[in-house]
Amino acid sequence: MPGGIYECLSLIAERITANKDYLTELDREIGDSDHGINMARGFSAVMEKLTPEDSDIGAALKKAGMTLLSKVGGASGPLYGTAYMEAGKITAGKTELTPSDMKAIFDAAIAGIQKRGKAVKGEKTMLDAIIPAAEAFSAKIAGGADMVTALEAACESAREGVEYTKTIIATKGRASYLGERSIGHQDPGATSAMITLEAIRDFYRGA
């Protein structure tokens, strides 16, 4: 694994920033055209707060979460912010993660997003990418797979989840005002969740 939590969060920030216009364009179709702008602003603030000396995964995730709560501005702020903070609570003091730690992070993040957003799977939200990803990850590690293999399966399921969001009606968030007109469009939050997971996968691949 090349580096620690600082490098992993740097890669997430880099990917979110690289996809800023793409995420905003998806949000223009069914939302308020700010998802990419908000996420890029949030992650640039996260990287200003962190240094390569931040090696405690729990502390770094908590710092990232608090920054996202404050700097993103839109609904993805409290949602991702809570997810990172909940993940941080269960990884305090750790400097590396086992696959079962990563499963616990998935579970904590999902519980945090559900607590905050009161959404379930199938409502055209980030959960439609993250929940199938977590299920695929758990199934792989239960079969003895290593971190990279399990993350690869998770990303595949996240991508399928993003595709699935094109087929369903939004019932949460700004897109819910569009009703049936939201069909055919992929959810920006599910997309940023997939981008995050792919960054984590690539971090573990050493890419």
Partner 1 sequence: MVGIVIVSHSWKIAEGVCDLAREMAQGFEGLIPAGGLEDGSTGTDAQRIADAIAEADSGDGVVILADIGSAIMSAESAIELLEDEGREINAVIADAPIVEGAVCAVVEAAGGGTVDSVLKAAEESRETGKL
Q: Which of residues 104-163 bind partner 1 (CB under 8 A)?
A: 116-117
Query: In Å, how far are 18, 124, 133, 158, 183 from 110, measured between CA atoms?
Result: 25, 15, 11, 13, 24
Q: Which of 10, 19, 24, 38 binds partner 1 (CB under 8 A)?
A: 38
Q: Does 189 bind partner 1 (CB under 8 A)?
A: no
Q: Which of 71, 103, 185, 201 binds partner 1 (CB under 8 A)?
A: 71
Extract long-range pairs of 98-102: CB within 8 Å, 24+ residues apart: 98/147, 99/137, 99/141, 99/145, 99/146, 99/147, 99/150, 100/141, 102/137, 102/141, 102/147, 102/150, 102/151
Q: Does 174 bind partner 1 (CB under 8 A)?
A: yes
Q: Which of 29, 47, 78, 163 binds partner 1 (CB under 8 A)?
A: 78
Instruction: Count residues near partner 1 (CB under 8 A).
Output: 19
d(CA 159, CA 106): 16
Alpha-helical regions (H) of the chain? 5-18, 20-30, 35-49, 57-71, 76-89, 99-117, 127-142, 147-165, 188-205
Nearer to partner 1, 4 or 31 (CB): 31
CB of 49 to partner 1, least distance (A): 12
Q: Which of 13, 26, 40, 75 binds partner 1 (CB under 8 A)?
A: 75
CB of 118 to partner 1, least distance (A): 9
Q: Does 58 bind partner 1 (CB under 8 A)?
A: no
Tell me which residues touch partner 1 (CB under 8 A): 32, 38, 66, 69-75, 77-79, 81-82, 116-117, 173-174
